[in-house]
Copies of this chain bind each other. A is one copy, B any other.
Amino acid sequence: MTRLVLKFGGTSMGSPQRIAHSASIVAAEAARGNQVAVVVSAMSGETDRYLGHATSLGGGLGEIETDTVLAAGEQAAAALMALALKQLGLKARSILAWQLPIEVDGVPGSARITGIDGEVLESLLADGVIPVVAGYQGVDAQGRLVTLGRGGTDLSAAAIAAAIGAECDIYTDVDGVFTTDPRIEPAATRLARISHDEMLELAAMGAKVLQTRSVEYAKAKGVAMRVKSSFAAPGASAGTQVLSESALAERRVVSGIAYARAQARIAVPGIEDSASGPGGVFAALAGAGVHVDMIVQGRARSGGSNLEFSVEGRDLRAALQALAGHEGLSSEVGLAKVSVVGTGLRGRADVARTLYGVLEAEAIEVRMLATSEIKISALVNEDALERAVRALHAAYRLDTAVYS
């Protein structure tokens, strides 16, 4: 008998009909002898509708009352899923954050889970009752409802799985994680297994199948996750398994090609002349809420030292305002990032050479390059992005077979 936490997001809860279909997936897992708990998001559209009401009354994200408004969506969804399960002849019960409780720190709209009391869940499971937990919410030290931020229900599911020693199946509208975005490369193949770290890098690309916070949580707590489709028939979605690196018996060098559009590049020349140096630059950007992605520091032709980095295009204006004091500041938009991801990249010297070779053969100029443990990223012209993704996908033979 396996213990499973099944998480269903907004589109899987989009209507009473979709809830009933998701319930049939739960029923199939229970019929296979698994001990099952469920975690749900609000019905799709509810959170935006409620947020619209709250915003028009002065309550943006980060205001504690807005969290109580938003948490109502998951409350209703949990009870509706419990009804759908009962209709299939199963025993089920909705569980709200305060009924466990799920304890969180008190930052409205982006709380962290600090503890989950698994006792109620254990007792329901022992009685053959399927607990249906309202995701996305917790109770703070003052006994108030606080939400976990976008994708918080994935985090709720990972945390509940950790609390009761279960595996965690995330049901979404795609059938797992692919070697790249199938809208760009139709030959993209589904990955049968990847590591948590690979998931973190691939989650950043077009198909955001799993929120990074939930993957980080699952990695830290050693929770095995799967990404599956709730739009398939019960039991029909093979999905992608997300495992700890040590549990992956064999690995490919490269597991996928990720990308991000609408990037901007900023160059700060003469950085050694600045009073504060690079530290001052990044402090100013952090203060303006700008997330810096790739960073390159190098010798300028003029002799001095240059600092170059990339930011999301939508953050460019804030970044330039924050650095307004720097002379010779320049920036460029219309860029995109393409990344080669794989745990097999660790310690391999030839990957950068391959990447340069592939892009050179396509006459795609690399504007900036950055590497991490399991990823190499290149900043290219956005016009060339799709060609770059396809060329790299082919070069690493990602279309040949399901990674296993």
Contacts and interface: CB of A to CB of B under 8 A. Distances in A.
Contacts of A144: 99
Interface stretch (A75-83, A287-295, A336-344, A394-402): A75-83
A59 B92 CA distance: 13
A114 interface: no
A79 B20 CA distance: 30
A98 interface: yes
Contacts of A86: 58-59, 65
Contact of A69 (B53, B59, B80): B80
Interface string A36-57: 0000000100000010011011
Interface string A70-90: 011101101110111011000
Interface centre among A50, A75, A86 (most CB of B within 10 A): A75
A72 B76 CA distance: 6
A127 to B, nearest CB: 13
Contacts of A96: 68, 145
B50 A76 contact: yes
Count copies of this chain in the complex: 2
A167 B83 CA distance: 39
A83 B66 contact: yes
Interface residues of A, number: 39
A57 B72 contact: no
A234 to B, nearest CB: 17
B63 A69 contact: no
A78 B79 CA distance: 20
B65 A94 contact: yes
A357 interface: no
B94 A79 contact: no
Contacts of A65: 79-80, 82-83, 86, 92-94
Given A68-B96, A143-B99, A57 B84 contact: yes
A75 B71 CA distance: 9
A243 interface: no
Which 7 A-B pairs have CB atoms at the shortest separation, nearest pair first? Answer: A68-B79, A58-B87, A59-B83, A72-B72, A72-B76, A57-B83, A16-B56
10 contacts: A16-B57, A50-B76, A58-B86, A58-B87, A66-B83, A68-B79, A69-B76, A69-B79, A71-B75, A98-B98
Interface of A: 16, 19-20, 43, 50, 53-54, 56-59, 63, 65-69, 71-73, 75-76, 78-80, 82-84, 86-87, 92-94, 96, 98-99, 143-145
